[in-house]
């Protein structure tokens, strides 16, 4: 056979064998044989046990799901949930009562100090009050700003606790970081005292998240979150709007979160609970520690 005759009988697409195989036979021969066996009822014996195992696993999964639902809806489970809820409410009531007792004891201490120091120590008493207001040790009152941050109306529960950067997180829910940025914006704007949800902030107070809850110190809060700052209302409003915290708060509207800022003539911020220095000592005018 001459080279010319062989070239004449060569397929034009001989250089595209792989592409031709894909176009002419897209299904793998093994899969094609298995499909033909199923159509004719001559499936290999090995497939029938596999189907039985699959069916058995599906039945077992369904049974486990039913058992789980029954256990969750059992009267005992509901009773346990109710008991836990009642215990939480009781403990919260005890905490509130202790906080009130602390406030009463603090007022008694202040009264006793005034009685002992007398009028000649008025300057020292005023200085102590100023320090107490700055550190959160005493309650304060005065004009300022009230910032209320609330979840979006369609915010849904997200049990994963994912941060805002997670694409799966619910962007309409207020997170602890949101309140942190708002509080820092108020401090930078000149706030003299700040409270979140009625909890006074100090150098030892943390605003953090625990699952879906926002904690200030150890106190859980629920939306809407009310942030109050004592200071000159006009200066606070202007400074907060120009701060990074104010710009961040304005940007929360993109996620449906509502933020309102109002000037208030008189705010009442409580003293911080449990504020008791142990290692720190007060220095006198000469820089020494008093006896």
Q: What is the pLDDT of residues 153-206, one digit of tens each?
A: 877 544 444 444 444 447 788 999 999 999 999 999 999 999 999 999 988 888
pLDDT of 83 reads: 77
Which DSSP helix (H) or strand (E) runs through 74? none
**Which pLDDT band holds residue 219 (cuts at 50, 70, 90)?**
confident
pLDDT of 158 reads: 46
Higher per-residue confidence, 226 vs 52:
226
Instruction: Summarize pLDDT for 2-44 with one digit per residue, the tens.
Output: 554 544 455 555 555 655 665 666 556 666 666 666 667 655 5
Higher per-residue confidence, 137 vs 222:
222
Higher per-residue confidence, 289 vs 101:
101
| Residue 229 backbone zone (phi > 0: left; psi -120 to 50: alpha; other: beta) | beta
pLDDT of 262 reads: 95
Higher per-residue confidence, 123 vs 52:
52
Most confident of 46-50, 74-78, 272-276: 272-276
If one counts every other C-beta atom within 10 angstroms of the C-beta of residue 49, the result is: 9
Higher per-residue confidence, 289 vs 209:
209
Tell me the average pLDDT across 96-116. Answer: 70
Higher per-residue confidence, 88 vs 145:
145
DSSP 193-254: EEEETTEE--TT--EEEETTEEEETTEEE-SSEEEEEES-HHHHHHHHHHSHHHHHHHHGGG
- As a whole-number percent, the residues of the chain with pLDDT over 70 amount to 55
Residue 77: pLDDT over 60: no
pLDDT of 126 reads: 65
pLDDT of 161 reads: 46
pTM value surpassing 0.75: no
Distances (CA, A) of 105 to 80, 97, 108, 205, 276: 37, 12, 5, 21, 13
Look up residue 198 and give its two tokens.
Answer: 């009625």
**Which pLDDT band holds residue 244 (cuts at 50, 70, 90)?**
very high
pLDDT of 163 reads: 44
pLDDT of 164 reads: 47
Peptide bond between residue 218 and the one before it cis (omega within 30 degrees of 0) = no
Distances (CA, A) of 45 to 39, 49, 54: 15, 8, 15
């Amino acid at each position: 056979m001459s080279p010319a005759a062989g070239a004449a009988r060569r397929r034009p697409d001989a250089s595209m064998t792989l592409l031709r195989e894909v176009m002419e036979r897209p299904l793998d021969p093994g899969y094609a044989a298995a499909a033909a066996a199923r159509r004719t009822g001559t499936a290999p014996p090995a497939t029938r046990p596999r189907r039985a195992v699959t069916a058995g696993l599906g039945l077992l999964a369904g049974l486990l799901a039913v058992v789980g639902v029954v256990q969750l809806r059992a009267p005992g489970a509901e009773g346990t949930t109710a008991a836990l809820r009642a215990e939480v409410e009781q403990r919260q009531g005890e905490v509130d009562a202790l906080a009130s007792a602390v406030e009463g004891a603090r007022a008694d201490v202040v009264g006793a100090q005034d009685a002992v120091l007398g009028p000649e120590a008025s300057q020292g008493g005023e200085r102590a009050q100023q320090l107490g207001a700055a550190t959160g040790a005493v309650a304060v009152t005065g004009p300022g700003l009230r910032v209320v941050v609330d979840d979006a109306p369609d915010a849904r529960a997200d049990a994963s606790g994912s941060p805002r950067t997670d694409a799966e997180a619910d962007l309409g829910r207020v997170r602890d970081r949101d309140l942190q940025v708002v509080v820092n914006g108020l401090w930078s704007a000149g706030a003299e005292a700040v409270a979140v949800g009625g909890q006074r902030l100090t150098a030892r107070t943390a605003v953090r998240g625990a699952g879906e809850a926002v904690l200030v110190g150890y106190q859980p809060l629920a939306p809407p979150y009310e942030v109050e700052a004592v200071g000159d209302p006009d200066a606070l409003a202007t400074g907060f709007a120009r701060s990074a915290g104010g710009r961040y708060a304005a940007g929360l509207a993109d996620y449906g979160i509502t933020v309102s800022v109002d000037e208030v003539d008189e705010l009442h911020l409580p003293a911080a609970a449990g504020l008791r220095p142990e290692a720190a000592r007060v220095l006198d005018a000469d820089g020494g520690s008093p006896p």
